[in-house]
Amino acid sequence: MLNKYARAFFTRVLTPFAAFLIRRGVSPDTVTLLGTAGVMAGALVFYPRGEFFWGTVVITLFVFSDLVDGNMARQLGRSSRWGAFLDSTLDRVADGAIFGGFALWYAGQGHDNTLCAVSIFCLASGQVVSYTKARGEAIGLPVAVNGLVERAERLVISLVAAGFAGLHKFGVPGIQYLLPVALWIVAAGSLVTLIQRVVTVRRESAEADAEAARQENQGSGASA
């Protein structure tokens, strides 16, 4: 849902900014690299120290590069396999930094090994969820399923919760519990999404194998 509607909205909003960068001679790949570096800095500098509000502010400023670089490529007519590969690869790096930052906080000053493990599970499951779709498509399957919690949902739930949880340092009582709740939600949703994709790939692969066998049998019958 977020991928469909939010991306369309922010693409329209960010189009003038993308055009401005093009006029200044900035390349889409540069935006991709700088955006990932900014997200990593926000996550790995602020989150391990418990500075969730400011970390989320920094990450939010850079996370929209994922939309800006694609918008620039389309305006330039330069959409390429390399650009898609770089963008997708660095998305995984950015996601790992965000949940890695949470894990470092809970392993250190946060003093909560359970939530550290949940953060690591969110990190790992997010990577595997992406891999299942990429691997399924690589073997020729459509992987036609909209998962319960995909990348956009993982980021929105986690970052919004982290940003609000950071207000605890400004004197807002009890709000720090939003982040643990969000991490459990993302972990559970990612697990469901992973199961959805695995089941879908299993079904599609069985259908593809059955169709291939049927065509082979028809070919054998025709030649006979």
- Residues identified as active-site: 91
Residue 209 is assigned to a ligand binding site? no
197 marked among binding-site residues: no
- Under 8 Å between Cβ of 217 and 199: no
The answer to whether 29 is annotated as binding is yes
- The verdict on whether residue 220 carries a ligand-binding annotation is no
Task: Check whether 66 is labelled as a binding-site residue.
Answer: yes
Is residue 83 within 8 A of residue 73, CB to CB? The reply is yes
70: annotated binding-site residue? yes
Q: Report whether 129 belongs to an annotated binding site.
A: no
| 91 labelled binding-site residue | yes
Q: Is 11 annotated as a binding residue?
A: no
- Known binding-site residues equal 29-32, 66, 69-70, 74, 80, 87, 91
- Known binding-site residues for a CDP-1,2-diacyl-sn-glycerol equal 29-32, 70, 74, 80
- Known binding-site residues for Mg(2+) equal 66, 69, 87, 91
